[in-house]
């Protein structure tokens, strides 16, 4: 445990924490004592190097406690696949044991309400009775502030375009869809596991990953367009059913309404989901 953290962090006042068996080697920079205590809490939740017959899940998976659970999952998937390819059943079992131990630590943190920094419980960690209804559906994943602002600026620009033009033969929606397919595509890229290379140096499965990422980006983007279009049609039909006519303002501004709703939907999809 100490070796893994000391290779990544360097704090000047680590001697005071060495007494608690959190950092045994210390040459460590300028993180606050409160942050160090957070690291200690996260590592102790999964076990220490001296517990469970020196079994440390972080060392087995080759990760450190300051990395999010997505990185842990990616490392487990990569190492488990390599172990199965080589037929190393002992290593595969050891990796599974380490992964299960960290997952149980995450569940324990959730029960305790631990939600600090990079140790926040992963959204992929679910209780057995709380599995997602649609596993392939959008998952809440908030983007960085910079990306949220970029998405907001893009949506605002297209809304301004359609309100000024009033009628642009649906070109704003077309360009809007391409822009946000790219934005979502790049966002999904950061959640892919690390690439695995063959002996020839080729990235194994790269095309497959890109294909899946592109299909998901298209599905999320065009799902927003379908939501706006079907929503408009449904509202118009309901109004006509109950009143017997469609308001002229609603009928004449179909493109404006659909484009604006699509822009807002894509903004939220690209900024808060994946």
Q: Which residues contact 194 (CB under 8 A, 6 or more apart)?
A: 74, 75, 78
Angle between helices 89-112 and 69-86 (to 10 degrees): 160
Distances in Å between the alpha carbon of 243 and those of 173, 198, 238?
30, 66, 8
Asked whether the predicted pLDDT for residue 41 surpasses 60, the reply is: no
pLDDT of residue 3: 41
Asked whether the predicted pLDDT for residue 44 surpasses 80, the reply is: no
Indicate the pLDDT class of residue 112, thresholds 50, 70 and 90: low
Lowest-pLDDT choice from 75-84, 91-100, 102-111? 102-111
Q: For the CA atoms of the chain, what is the radius of gyration?
A: 25
pLDDT of residue 67: 66
Q: Which residues contact 158 (CB under 8 A, 6 or more apart)?
A: 172, 175, 176, 259, 263
Asked whether the predicted pLDDT for residue 48 surpasses 50, the reply is: no
Partner residues linked to 203 by β-bridges: 197
pLDDT of residue 260: 95
Indicate the pLDDT class of residue 13, thresholds 50, 70 and 90: very low
Task: Determine the 3-state secondary structure of 116 from DSSP.
Answer: coil
pLDDT of residue 264: 95
- Cβ burial 254-263 (10 Å sphere, 16+ → b, else e): ebbbbbbbbb
pLDDT tens for each residue of 123-152:
555 444 455 556 677 888 888 899 999 999
Distances in Å between the alpha carbon of 166 and those of 179, 246, 247, 264?
21, 19, 17, 17
Angle at 24 between CA 22 and CA 27, to 5 degrees: 105
Q: Which DSSP string corresponds to 166-177?
A: S--TTHHHHHHH
Asked whether the predicted pLDDT for residue 45 surpasses 50, the reply is: no
List, in sequence order, every beta strand (DSSP E) within the chain. Answer: 196-197, 203-204
Q: What percent of the chain has pLDDT over 70?
A: 65
pLDDT of residue 103: 79
C-beta contacts of 82-87 below 8 A and 24+ residues apart:
82/196
- Residues 243-258, mean pLDDT to the nearest whole number: 89
Asked whether the predicted pLDDT for residue 81 surpasses 80, the reply is: yes
């Amino acid at each position: 445990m100490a070796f893994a953290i000391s290779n990544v962090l360097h704090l000047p006042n680590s001697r005071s924490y060495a007494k608690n068996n959190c950092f045994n080697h210390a040459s460590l920079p300028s993180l606050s004592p409160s942050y160090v205590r957070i690291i200690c809490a996260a590592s102790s939740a999964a076990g220490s190097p001296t517990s469970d017959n020196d079994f440390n899940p972080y060392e087995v998976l080759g990760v450190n406690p300051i990395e999010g659970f997505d990185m842990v999952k990616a490392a487990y998937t990569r190492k488990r696949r390599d172990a199965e390819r080589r037929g190393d059943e002992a290593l595969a079992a050891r990796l599974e044991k380490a992964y299960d131990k960290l997952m149980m630590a995450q569940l324990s943190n959730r029960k305790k309400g631990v939600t600090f920094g990079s140790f926040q419980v992963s959204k992929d960690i679910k209780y057995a009775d709380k599995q997602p209804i649609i596993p392939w559906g959008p998952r809440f994943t908030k983007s960085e502030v910079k990306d949220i602002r970029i998405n907001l600026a893009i949506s605002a620009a297209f809304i301004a375009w359609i309100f000024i033009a009033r009628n642009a033969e649906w070109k704003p929606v077309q360009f809007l869809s391409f822009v946000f397919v790219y934005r979502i595509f790049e966002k999904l890229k950061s959640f892919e596991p690390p690439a695995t290379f063959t002996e020839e140096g080729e990235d194994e499965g790269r095309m497959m990953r890109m294909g899946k990422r592109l299909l998901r980006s298209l599905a999320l983007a065009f799902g927003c367009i379908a939501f706006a279009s079907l929503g408009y049609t449904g509202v118009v039909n309901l109004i006509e059913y109950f009143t017997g006519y469609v308001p002229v303002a609603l009928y004449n501004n179909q493109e404006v309404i659909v484009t604006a709703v699509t822009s807002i939907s894509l903004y939220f999809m690209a900024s808060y989901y994946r």
